[in-house]
């Protein structure tokens, strides 16, 4: 696993975010890692391409554990015209957006709903709300607990953007 491509602040966030803890739920882990689980699901082709363009595939195939709030292909399609193409050409911005969708640790749905926020690998925190369904920032969580060997995926219906600094 190469952490050389991840900003130091993201690595610091990983260490801090591990304090979220682990679920006490007993679930058999998948034999596939986060990336392979997403690819096998079939509705994360854009996310997989973006992870490759950002150089994050190797990291998310690593030991983890990671919790990924994964936007579907339809979520990426909601972005304004030209946005995705521009992001694919701006590795730093793309990396910041993608790592904003990842939390260190394996945070199952039963644990997510108990949180008000979660620190991302990007360094900022996601807001979590359970009013009118589970929302992470303004994205709706539409499927939960896709188990992977190195973490868990929760499916969301929008691409989340970090706050401007």
Q: Is the pLDDT of residue 29 over 70?
A: no
Classify the phi-psi angles of 137: left when phi > 0, otherwise alpha if psi is within -120 to 50, otherwise beta: left
User: What is the pLDDT, as a whole number, of residue 10?
Assistant: 34
pLDDT, tens only, 51-60:
999 999 999 9
The CATH architecture of the domain made up of 8-156 is: Roll (2.30)
Q: Give the model's pLDDT for residue 3.
A: 34
Q: How far is CA 65 from CA 80, 103, 133, 139, in A?
A: 32, 9, 25, 22
- Secondary structure (3-state) at 12: helix
pLDDT at 9: 32
- Render pLDDT for 83-126 as a digit per residue (tens, 0 to 9): 999 999 999 999 999 999 999 999 999 999 899 999 999 999 99
pLDDT, position 61 = 95
Number of other CB atoms surrounding residue 89 within 10 Å: 10
Which pLDDT does position 91 carry in this prediction? 96
Domain limits, the chain: 8-156
Per-residue pLDDT band for 73 (boundaries 50, 70, 90) equals very high
pLDDT of res. 165: 66
Residue 130 has pLDDT above 60, yes or no: yes
The pTM for the full model equals 0.80
What's the pLDDT score for residue 132? 85
pLDDT in tens, 112-123: 989 999 999 999
Looking at residue 106, its pLDDT comes to 95
């Amino acid at each position: 696993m190469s952490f050389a491509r991840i900003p130091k602040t993201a690595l610091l966030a990983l260490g801090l975010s591990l304090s979220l803890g682990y679920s006490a739920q007993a679930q058999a882990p998948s034999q596939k890692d986060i990336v392979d689980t997403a690819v096998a699901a079939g509705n994360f082709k854009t996310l997989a391409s973006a992870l490759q363009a950002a150089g994050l595939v190797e990291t998310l195939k690593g030991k983890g554990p990671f919790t990924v709030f994964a936007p579907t292909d339809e979520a990426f399609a909601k972005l304004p015209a030209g946005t995705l193409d521009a992001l694919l050409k701006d590795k730093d911005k793309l990396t910041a957006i993608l790592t904003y969708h990842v939390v260190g640790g394996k945070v199952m749905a039963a644990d997510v709903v108990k949180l008000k926020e979660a620190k991302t690998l990007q360094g900022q925190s996601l807001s979590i709300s359970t009013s009118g369904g589970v929302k992470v920032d303004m994205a709706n969580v539409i499927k939960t607990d896709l188990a992977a060997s190195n973490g868990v995926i929760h499916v969301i219906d929008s691409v989340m953007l970090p706050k401007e600094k």
